[in-house]
Amino acid sequence: MLKTVGVKSVDELFDQVPRELRLDRPLQLPPALSELELESHLRDLASQNVGVSGRVSFLGGGIYDHFVPAAVDAIAGRSEFYTAYTPYQAEASQGSLQAFFEYQSLICELTGMDVSNASLYEGASAMVEAVLMAMRVTQRRGKVVVLGSLHPEYRDTLTTYVRHLGCEIVVVPTPQGTADPGDASRLIDDRTAAVVVQHPNFFGCLESPRDIFAVAKQRGALSISVFDPISLGVLRRPAEDGADIAVAEGQSLGIPLQYGGPYLGILACRQEFVRQMPGRLVGETVDRFGKRCFVLTLGTREQHIRREKATSNVCTNQGLLALRATVYLSLLGPRGLREVADLSCRKAHYAAEQLAAVAGLELAFARPFFKEFVIRSRGNAAEVAQRARIAGFDIGPALNRFPTLAAECGASTTEYLLVAVTESRTKNQIDNLANSLRK
């Protein structure tokens, strides 16, 4: 090969890198491992962790231990999907393109919205993209209204993105677990670009999105719904509540926990905003023989064409995770989704009753909730979580993990703990959790 190139050594190929810039020593990296050694090394490290297969998980906060059917792994593990590139060459990518078109269709059915993109990174940045989109649509940049019950990491992410815009993030207080629509109404004005309502909210409680979105509409602000995809098996869809843009963390749709990602950012909106959407879109068309096929479309919104005028800088998305969600929703169908939502909701209510009956514990908020709720310990929540762990249960997160929430719960965040219940939990596990906290 060197002879074909016309050089004497591989080193000569690097002549264009000036000598003085070359690294004159080996990189200081750990020694190379064979596959056998690597497996042993990693098994050792993995064994120092305790995941949901090691402890019964009641952990929530936006990421949940919902059951993932084996068929999801089987399809996502197909080489042709997971080692393919972004489907720019339509003729060599019809599999991915059709799957993403189906993903978009399923997300539209799920949310009631008109159009969905082909995925974003995860929930928080998807919500920020929705806010930036609302700013472009309304031509207002000065103010965004969020509820105090919004996931604190979502609010933190929004703060990071809009700080330099001089944008004020106004927080509607939620001291009793939900916002009073009257309070929201007083804070939404004709400078407001967007109102963000998470429903069910970070505490698991149901908000009143319809009332708040109606006010937003009157004042010319866009309504952004942050939803839980599983909840739509039983709850009204964001479009029916008046949302202009609906965003979500899609992890619940067949995606493993894997310590924080990769997950799936869902973003769907009304038809009139389609040209302001971020991210890739797949559209239907025909090929030169008139056969139905699918292509990436409206690329003129995107960074590779519009550069600094693009609707977003997003390029790489979460294709494989969108595929997982597509397979998951096809396996569940309408009845399966309703069952998962129904089971999660009823088991969560059973768990809430059992835990509230434990001396020293009570439900923090007397509000309707879906699959997650906050318990208050009249001691220290961290100590309650520790007792549960010793008995083999994970509950949380404790709310004092999130400094942003301090204003919402006052000085007592140390007393609050989230508990989430999915269809995967059994009555036995719930009873045993409650018993372990009685001791």
Q: Does 8 bind another protein (CB under 8 A)?
A: no
Q: Tokens representing 67?
A: 């059951």
Applying the rule CB under 8 A, the residues between 236 and 265 that interact with another protein are 236-237, 240, 249, 256-263
Q: Strand pairing of 222-227 and 192-198?
A: parallel
Q: Give the Cα separation of 373 and 352 in Å (integer).
A: 7
Contact residues for 193 (Cβ-Cβ < 8 A; gap 6+)? 131, 134, 135, 138, 140, 141, 142, 143, 144, 167, 221, 222
The smaller minimum CB distance to another protein, of residues 90 and 356, is found at 90
Within residues 119-138, the interface with another protein by CB under 8 A covers: 119, 121-125, 132
**359 touches another protein by CB under 8 A:** no
Nearer to another protein by C-beta: 172 or 340? Answer: 340
From residue 260 to residue 299, the character string flagging contacts with another protein as x (rule: CB under 8 A) and all else as - is: xxxx----------x-----xxxxxxxxxx-xxxxx-xx-
Beta bridge partner(s), residue 195:
145, 223
Q: Which two tokens stand for residue 165?
A: 């815009």
Residues 6+ apart with CB under 8 A from 307: none
Binding mask 309-338 for another protein (x = CB under 8 A): xx-xxxxxxxxxx-x--xx-xxxxxxxxxx
**Which bin fits 270, alpha (ψ -120 to 50), beta or left (φ > 0)?**
beta
Per CB under 8 A, 390 contacts another protein: no
Residues whose CB is less than 8 angstroms from the CB of residue 380 and which lie 6 or more positions away in sequence, other chains included: 414, 415
> Measured at the alpha carbon of residue 84, what is the angle toward residues 80 and 87, in degrees to the nearest 5?
115
Q: Is position 139 an interface residue for another protein (rule: CB under 8 A)? A: no
According to CB under 8 A, which one of 133, 147, 423, 434 is a site residue for another protein? 423
Q: Return the number of the residue (186 or 390) whose C-beta is nearest another protein.
A: 390
- How many residues sit in the footprint of another protein (CB under 8 A)? 199
- What residues from 56 to 85 belong to the interface with another protein (CB under 8 A)? 57, 59-63, 65, 67, 69, 71, 74-75, 77-85
Residues of span 165-184 touching another protein by CB under 8 A:
165
According to the binding rule CB under 8 A, does residue 45 interact with another protein? yes
Least distance in angstroms from the C-beta of 281 to another protein: 6
Residue 37, token pair as written in the block: 């050694």
Q: Tell which one of 32, 139, 411, 439 touches another protein (CB under 8 A).
A: 32
